[in-house]
Structure 1
Amino acid sequence: MPSGGARANAGRMPDPSSEAFQSRAQGLFALPAAGYKRPHPKLPLPDYEVWRTYKDDDGIHRELDAEASERWNRREREVWNDLWRYPQGYAWSRPQYLYLQHTVALYVRQYVLCETSDARAADRTTLCRYADAIGLTPQGLRLNGWRIIADEPPKRRRTSAKIVEFPDPRDEWASLQHD
């Protein structure tokens, strides 16, 4: 039986300085490294309710814990607002990626759940899968076709006295085209 196929973390990460990577990167969606600074939507999920279960002589009872529910919902809003400051927030706001906003909200709920002592291994696994789906991991960025671009130009390498620098022929060609 054949196995394998494309997976989120299969194989080595490509070398960003290679020519093959540069040619593939032309079609990637660029995200600003400074992050997303515009207003973002409200958390689309309904408020979470924390229920307490207790047993007494009359049987088992459940009651809503309003204080714990408020703390939970406040934490969800904090995580939601923090996530939208990431470079990925720029992509989530674009029309072609609007479908990911609900998955981002589910990631937030799962994230807050994983902060509690009630979280299980399956909850943490689900959190990792959501992170890949919404582009928060290097594999997720690659799967979504996104690339985070530095806002500042890269620094030139120091050159040795033994190395003679030649002008880039592409720059010369471009300057001839403008003349």
Structure 2
Amino acid sequence: MPSGGARTKAGRMPDPASEAFQQRAGGLFALPANGYRRPHPKFPLPPYAVKDDPSQEERWNRREREVWNELWRYPQGYAWSRPQYKYLQHIVALYVRQYVLCESPDAKAADRATLCRYADSIGLTPQGLRLNGWRIVADEPKPARARKSAKVVPFPDPRDEWADMQ
């Protein structure tokens, strides 16, 4: 019987300390760990109309804007703002709408499953980061500049010493 082949979420997560991971990580799109702090687009979907209770529409739409603004502060917001990933902005908006729907008591299991699929496609889960080719990197402090001092002692190059001995 033939095997199934590679699947997107199959297998263990790679070890970040391994050499193979480091080689693959060279081509990944790095996202800053401190998040995205620039202005972001407005929520692109039309206002949501609550069928049963129109008085809840304002509360619902306000909650959508809150979640939208919060998501854009994540490191993934940096990727969503780039031109090559701009197509994900509408999927992020659909994720926000689905998120608010899942907060309501009327949410069904299918709604929550859809939310998980959206989270994967926009890179909010470890699998989604891997599928999109993204990685979150910690901001490293800039190395301190070496000051020139009059007390610098020259250090001979061992290769020169070896050449002299030959």
Q: TM-score, normalised by structure 1?
A: 0.76
Matched, 1:31 2:19: no
In 2, Cα distance between equivalents of 1:21 and 1:147? 12
> Which residue is equivalent to 2:101?
113
> Which residue is equivalent to 1:45?
45
In 2, Cα distance between equivalents of 1:120 and 1:37? 34
The residue identity in structure 2 corresponding to 1:128 is: C
Counterpart selection for 2:133 from 145, 150, 153: 145
**Is there any run of 5+ residues in structure 2 with no aligned partner, and where?**
142-166
> Which residue is equivalent to 2:68?
80
**Is there any run of 5+ residues in structure 1 with no aligned partner, and where?**
53-64, 154-179
> Which residue is equivalent to 1:102?
90
SS of the residue aligned with 2:6?
coil
Instruction: Give the structure with the higher percent strand.
Output: 1
Q: Percent of aligned pairs with the same residue?
A: 82
User: Matched residue pairs, number?
Assistant: 141
SS of the residue aligned with 1:31?
strand
The equivalences for 1:126-137 within 5 A come to 126-137=114-125
In 2, Cα distance between equivalents of 1:105 and 1:2? 40
Alpha carbons of structure 1 residues 107 and 6: separation in structure 2 relative to 1, 3 Å: farther
CA RMSD of aligned residues (A): 1.2
Q: Which runs of 4+ in 1 moved over 4 A?
A: none
CA deviations over 1:115-170 (Å, ceiling 9, x no partner)? 011100100000000000000000000000000001136xxxxxxxxxxxxxxxxx
Query: 1:51 deviation in Å?
Result: 1.6
SS of the residue aligned with 1:51?
coil
Q: TM-score, normalised by structure 2?
A: 0.81
Alpha carbons of structure 1 residues 114 and 46: separation in structure 2 relative to 1, 3 Å: same
Query: 1:9 deviation in Å?
Result: 1.9
